[in-house]
Amino acid sequence: MNQTTAWHTARQANRSMKRETIKEGNMPANITVHTYRPEDLPALVALINEADDYDQLERRVTLEGMQHEMTWPNYHPETDCFLAWKNGRLVAYADFLMRPGEENAEALFYTWGMVHPRWRRLGIGRHLMETLHRRAVERHGELGNKSAYFQGSGRDIEEDRRALFEGLGMQRVRYFVNMVRPIDNGLPPVEMPPGFRLRTFDPARDVETVWQVDVDSFQDHWGWTGFPFEEFQHWVHQPHFRPELWLIAAEDATGKAAGICLNKVDPEWIAQTGRQEGLINTLGVLREYRRLGLGTALLAQSMRTLRQAGMDL
């Protein structure tokens, strides 16, 4: 089990994000920064993997997987991803994805980045975050007077990341816990409430339905912002997608989808960790169908589905 923490800029500051400033730090000599170009992808993959070799946080990536990420709809790395180079070597990067949010909801700028271990604690990460924040302020102008948060996240053991965020005036606002259990035996029974059934996802007819359930079931979750259908379509076409691992709880009488559980088996993750570990990626039930046992049934069946796919965890 591990814990992830979310940080973001203070609420009052985000109500006037255009006027908000972050005090600039010093930039090391001989560091150049430019926005992402497609030819930078191999260097970006190498940076992330070399950092993970040191950090041991199981964040290794592949060229194919990162290509999929860098072509995400509504993500603009050519203007919103900044790379720091020293003597021709990529030593750090930072980027964001802007989520405009619904009409009456706040917008979010989801940030992420990495500094190579050899070049940490030199001010490079801070400089990139300052650059990123200035770009976010520019893009915030596209949203009119809508409130917005500049948000980041990190694992509980990442002291450098926490110090960076807090040094920029960001506040810890939420904790998330990743949980794991063996699934080789002792699984709970699958008990569906009367009038409902479980079925597997059909890519030919269920993509839009599952997207809508995903968006609607999380509408009152902390920090949630909706996302367009084109992003969900892109996600469905991620490497190693297996539609038979996705489950839908539907009404018998109408066939209406009431809940979903979207599971994943990633052979690259298994190769990296050495664990036969599946992922229960998204579990959601529409508000009007809650407290009937659908979520519990979806979870119980998902563990069985992952076990049948050869997973131990």
Per-residue model confidence as pLDDT tens digits over 43-96: 999 999 999 999 999 999 999 999 999 999 999 999 999 999 999 999 999 999
Using pLDDT thresholds of 50, 70 and 90, give the confidence band for residue 14.
very low
- What six digits make up the tokens of 135? 């770009």
Among 104-113, 166-175, 195-204, 218-227, the range of highest mean pLDDT: 195-204
Using pLDDT thresholds of 50, 70 and 90, give the confidence band for residue 38.
very high
Locate the DSSP E strands across the chain: 2-8, 31-35, 81-86, 89-99, 107-115, 148-155, 171-178, 196-200, 246-251, 257-264, 279-285
Per-residue model confidence as pLDDT tens digits over 222-257: 878 888 899 999 999 988 999 999 999 999 999 999
- What six digits make up the tokens of 282? 């998204």
Give the bridge partners for 32, in sequence order.
85
Average pLDDT over residues 149-158: 91
Q: Say what the pLDDT of residue 265 is.
A: 95
Per-residue model confidence as pLDDT tens digits over 174-219: 898 889 999 988 899 999 999 999 999 999 999 999 999 999 999 8
Greater model confidence, 40 or 143 = 40
Q: Say what the pLDDT of residue 9 is.
A: 58
40, 90 contact by CB (below 8 A): yes
Per-residue model confidence as pLDDT tens digits over 276-299: 999 999 999 999 999 999 999 999
Q: What is the mean pLDDT of the chain?
A: 89
Using alpha carbons, list the distances in angstroms from residue 282 to 184, 229, 257.
21, 16, 15
Average pLDDT over residues 99-113: 86
Domains and CATH numbers, the chain: 2-178 (3.40.630.30), 196-308 (3.40.630.30)
Which residue in the block uniquely carries the two structure tokens 């199981």?
A: 58
Average pLDDT over residues 301-309: 96
